[in-house]
Structure 1
Amino acid sequence: MAAGTPRVFVSHLSGVPVFDPNGDQVGRMRDLVAMLRVGGKPPRLLGMVVEVVSRRRIFLPMTRVTGVESGQVITTGVVNMRRFEQRPTERLVLGEFLDRRVRLVETDEEVTVLDVAIQQLPARRDWEIDKFFVRKGRGGALRRKGETLTVEWSAISGFSLEQHGGAESLVATFDRLRPTDVANAMHHLTPKRRAEVAAALDDDRLADILEELPGDDQVEIIGKLKEDRAADVLEAMDPDDAADLLSWLPEADKERLLTLMRPDDAADVRRLLSYEERTAGGLMTTEPIILRPDATVADALARVRQQDLSPALAAQVYVCRSPDETPTGRYLGTAHFQRLLRDPPFTLVSSLVDSNLVPLAPDTPLPAVTSYLAAYNLVSAPVVDESGSLLGAVTVDDVLDHLLPEDWRETDFDSGEEVSGGR
């Protein structure tokens, strides 16, 4: 771990308040959810179990946690209020790790886990279990006798993932693969096995993998999930990919899932569904980087550095009048990443915009979108309506998805990894 990255012991987090960015309390932290991994890697933290005012326990993904301290947890403010349900591959840190008897690898001596330390990975939003605070001997947490020591995850045994070929082992193996490679492996599983793996994956990971699967596999998997969970996964997908998936479902199923989704997410997807599939409006994403005219180059570069952005979306920012979410106020132009790098951090992005290119209209057909990107050497292009509001952006990867043969996702890619688990 890099020096300076804070380490937090989970016993200090039990019961601490969880706040949104405005300082309003969301609830209290009751546990952390981790997933064991193969290859001796420390468990990855998936999220937190938070008890809200109604005493309902909900799941808060670590990707929506912006600060973890001994006295409080800060979130992005986006909280899904559906009740938490533990999945087969998930482990509760407070509930299942603490007071557990394990062994030291070096001496085979039995120790009891008194506390667990978590740490955020450098330059990433991922968290993992870092160290264990243990007591030698057979006494539990209340016993005062016995030497205590802090050890690395690799120094103990007793938490190993069982290698029995089940979904849990397979999901742990998938953890080290890119979503495209996992999708390719899942495509070749039997439907039963594919459903087991999908049920064991967390929502964000499953969303990323669904986006890389052929359409019939997406429909099959989403159809076998509980409706509440299917809605959660759709919310975690990029809006354009969620719209594509929903467009393949029967109308009644599509409407039912849209109703279960958060209103803001459902609104974006409904807007995309209103456009013809092979047009700029049907291809676009509704979540490009949007900045107001008074934003600075430093603000723009901070947005571009966000880990979950695709390279195509990170290649430029779109400058618009308020509001800064699609559909925006008046679209002013595009500031390209290379131009941002050439100017001082305090420069206003409004002075750097390229306003010479005419943006795409939402009804622009796919061939014209392709020609536009090729002619101007762009990896992304703005889509603007008649009133001048930015609706979204078309990226080159979405265009390629519609230009390649329909079965291109079924091609076997050589990822350099071997995945076991069988059919």
Structure 2
Amino acid sequence: MAAGASRIFVSHLSGMAVFDPGGDQVGRVRDLVAMLRVGSRPPRVLGLVVELSNRRRIFLPMTRVTGIESGQIISTGVLNVRRFEQRPTERLILGELLDRRLRLIETDEEVTVLDVSVRQLAARREWEIDRVYVRKGRGTRTGGGEDRRFGLPWKGGGRRSGETLTVEWSALTGFSLEEHGQGAENLLATFEQLRPADLANVLHHLSAKRRIEVASALQDDRLADVLEELPEDDQIEILGELKDERAAEVLEAMDPDDAADLLGELPEDDKERLLALMRPSDAADVRRLMAYEDKTAGGLMTTEPIVLRPDATIADALARVRNRDLSPALAAQVYVCRPPDETPTGKYLGTVHFQRLLRDPPYTLVGSILDDDLLPLTPEAALPEVAGFFATYDMVAAPVVDDGGALLGAVTVDDVLDHMLPDDWRETEFHLSAEVAEGAG
């Protein structure tokens, strides 16, 4: 069963083997991590707690799950093997939700949770709790026992009083956030739908104490997105309040150019300590960017554009462009290079713009539709030269190529604007978001 194809009961996931893209088993599922939301909205499923062969338990985000089928889970990307630590806003589904006593809203009857199902939202990568399998009454056993691994009645002859039924999460009360209160959980639930830039502006206008509480409770990917939109002082303050390992994880989740800018503002000892805790490949990208002057193409670029070989097809290119993690600017074009495919690449051959990908048949090779007339930027190109390039050619992204012809990265228009606006522009714009924060401080 492919991920998102239908609902999956968590009792079936417990103990299920997890495999990497190469087919090697990395561990087994021991729990699922969910975040409660205000009112009747079902909890969002954040990821899996996976136990490795050495008994270490790690966190696997649901965004890394590409398939749940034939009694196994397939993951993608590099696993973060740092030990899982539950955060204040997180709940363990097997450990904390099963056997929980809730109430049916319609009849006010008490029920005991025996199992829950999860599902992937249509056309999105988010997962949430879907339905709840419950038993009416207090669930007193009349004999036998219960298998705590799955939260289901033990089949060894025991039975429990009360009718069992499956209901929607919204039909239950007793395990969701209160509508009122000033805990970080409530603020997170209130701001869940805000764009990173708007949430960053809200955080900026909170008191220092509240800002740290909310930032610490955000998931790594969400906090990374928000940090990229915050003023420099707020970035440094928040990063300094995180544990070193957590700070390194958040830096890994940031765009390499933003992580390089942030680390560049830290004292040398702090910078080196955090770089040493990051994954070597991520740290290498950041160190490479930090070698360039701030307001140059090399200092502005990201090292993670879409790179394809000339024998890739338009269908391949469109599949890469569909990646939800890409910004619109980075998804606007692909860069065609000789191998290796990661920056710094082999010889840069040219660019294919998104509109051109839509005009030609899917089987067309990208090497045959290159735009190679435009000279790329050099890493030493100063900010005015970069801005002039974008204005002259109506570009939203541009390749950066070294003297040897290798693609080093790409500069996007948002980074150019960010460095051309006044230093305090984040603090003077988007006043509407600041009004949202008035009642939260």
TM-score, structure 1 length as denominator? 0.97
Quick one: which of 356, 370, 376 aligns to 1:353? 370
Shift of 1:412: 4.6
Aligned-pair identity (%):
74
1:370 is matched with 387
Whether the 8 Å CA contact 1:5–1:122 is kept in 2: the answer is no
Contact 2:205–2:437 (8 Å) recurs in 1: no
Deviation, structure 1 residue 254: 0.4
Alignment of 1:33-52 (within 5 A): 33-52=33-52
What is the Cα deviation at residue 39 of structure 1? 4.6
Contact 1:170 1:420 in 2 (8 A): no
The equivalent position to 2:173 in structure 1, one of 150, 154, 157, is 157
The Cα shift of 1:335 comes to 0.4
**Residue identity in the other structure for 1:30:** R
* Contact 1:295 1:348 (C-alpha < 8 Å) held by counterparts: yes
- Is 1:207 aligned to residue 234 of structure 2? no
Q: Which amino acid aligns with 2:209?
A: K
How far apart, in 2, do the equivalents of 1:31 and 1:410 lie?
Answer: 41
Q: Any conservation in 1 of the 2:60–2:79 contact (CA below 8 Å)?
A: yes
In the TM superposition, 1:7-406 aligns within 5 A as 7-69=7-69, 71-139=71-139, 141-142=152-153, 143-162=159-178, 163-406=180-423
The Cα of 1:421 is off from its aligned counterpart by: 5.5
Question: 1:297, 1:340 within 8 Å by CA — same for their partners in 2?
Answer: yes
2:203 and 2:437 in contact (8 A); partners too = no
Give per-residue Cα distances to partners, 1:211-267, cap 9 Å, x unaligned: 010001000000010000000000010101100100010011001000000000000
Q: 4+ runs of 1 displaced by more than 4 Å?
A: none
- TM-superposed deviation, 1:129: 1.0
Structure 2 unaligned regions, length at least 5: 141-151, 154-158
How far, CA to CA, are the matches of 2:269 and 2:333 in structure 1? 38
Q: Secondary structure at the match of 2:176?
A: coil
The answer to whether the 8 A contact 2:205-2:434 is kept is no
Q: Secondary structure at the match of 2:88?
A: coil
Deviates more, 1:140-149 or 1:79-88: 140-149
Q: Which moved more, 1:410-419 or 1:205-214?
A: 410-419
Cα distance in 2 for partners of 1:130, 1:419 equals 31
Note the C-alpha offset of 1:353.
Answer: 1.0
- Structure 1 residue 415: Cα displacement: 5.3
Contact 2:206 2:437 in 1 (8 A): no
**Paired residues of 2:30 and 2:48 also in contact (CA < 8 A):** yes
CA distance in 1, matches of 2:435, 2:361: 43
Q: Give the match's secondary structure for 1:232.
A: helix
Structure 1: gaps of 5 or more residues: none
Bigger drift between 161-170 and 402-411 goes to 161-170
For residue 42 of structure 1, report the CA deviation from its aligned partner: 1.4
Q: Which residue of 2 aligns with 1:409?
A: 426
Aligned-partner Cα distance in 1 for 2:109–2:434 = 38
The one-letter amino acid of 1:81's match is V
1:60-90 per-residue CA deviation (whole Å, 9 max, x = no partner) reads 1112221224611111141111111100000
Letter in 1 for 2:108: D
Distance 1:420 1:9, change over 3 A: farther
- Cα distance, 1:205 vs structure 2: 0.8
How far has the Cα of 1:152 moved from its partner?
Answer: 1.1
SS in 1 for 2:329: helix
Deviations 1:255-301 (A, max 9, x none): 10000000000000000000000000000001111111111111111
State the Cα distance separating 1:164 from its structure 2 match.
Answer: 2.1
Alpha-carbon spacing, 1:394–1:39, altered in 2? closer, same or farther (3 Å)? farther
Larger Rg: 2
Q: Which residue of structure 2 aligns with residue 422 of structure 1?
A: 440
Name the amino acid aligned to 1:351. S
Residue aligning to 2:143: none
